[in-house]
Amino acid sequence: MRNLSEGRAVHLLDVENLVGNARPATRDVRTMMARYHERVPTGGMDQYVAAVNHGALVPVGLALAGIQLLVRSGPDGADGALGEVIRLDHLADRFERVVIGSGDGIFADFAGWLSGRGVLVVVVSRPESLNRRLRRTAAQVISLDLAA
C-alpha cells in the first residue's frame, strides 16, 4: 500500500508576513506569489492554505483565488489560524513536506514537532523577517526577496 503522504506538500502562507504589510494591496500579494512560485519547488498534488486578518481579506482573496483562505483577527491571528491547521489537520500523515511561508518565531515549535514526525519542513521567508530559532529548526530555508 502506497503512503498517502508520498510526494505531497502543503504550503502554509502567512500572507502579511510574506508581503511585509498587515494590509497588503492585491498587486503586492500577486507579486509575492509570483516570486514564491519562482523560488519554491511545487508539485501537482500540492495544497495551499493562506491566513490573513479581516482587514486584508478582500485584497488577498482577489489575489489568491482558488486557495483556501483563513481569516483571524487580533495579534498574531493569522499565525494562530495556521497553527491550528498544523495541530489539527494531521499534516504529518497527509504530507511529505510542509512549507511554512512565514518568518515568525511562533512556527519554530511547530516546525520541530513536524520534523519529529518525519516531515520535511521548509521555511520561506523574507530575509529581514526570519526568526533565528525558526531558521535553525527548518530543514531548508528559502529566501523570498521581493525587491529582486
CATH code, domain carrying 58: 3.40.50
Domain range for 71 is 9-143
Residue 92 maps to a domain: yes
Q: What is the model's pLDDT at position 94?
A: 92
pTM over 0.75: yes
pLDDT in tens, 6-39: 789 999 999 999 999 999 999 999 999 999 999 9
pLDDT band at 2 (very low <50, low <70, confident <90, very high): very low
137: in domain: yes
| Secondary structure of the chain as H, E, C letters | CCCCCCCCEEEEEEHHHHHCCCCCCHHHHHHHHHHHHHHCCCCCCCEEEEEECHHHHHHHHHHCCCCEEEECCCCCHHHHHHHHHHHHCCHHHHCCEEEEECCCCCHHHHHHHHHCCCCEEEEEECHHHCCHHHHHHCCEEEECCCCC
pLDDT score at 50: 96
- pLDDT-derived band at 148 (thresholds 50, 70, 90) equals low
Q: pLDDT at position 40, please? A: 96
Give residue-wise pLDDT tens across range 70-119.
999 887 889 999 999 998 999 999 999 999 999 999 999 999 999 999 99
> Does residue 3 lie in a domain region?
no
How many domains does the chain contain in total?
Answer: 1
Assess whether pLDDT exceeds 70 at residue 3: no
**1 domain residue, yes or no:** no
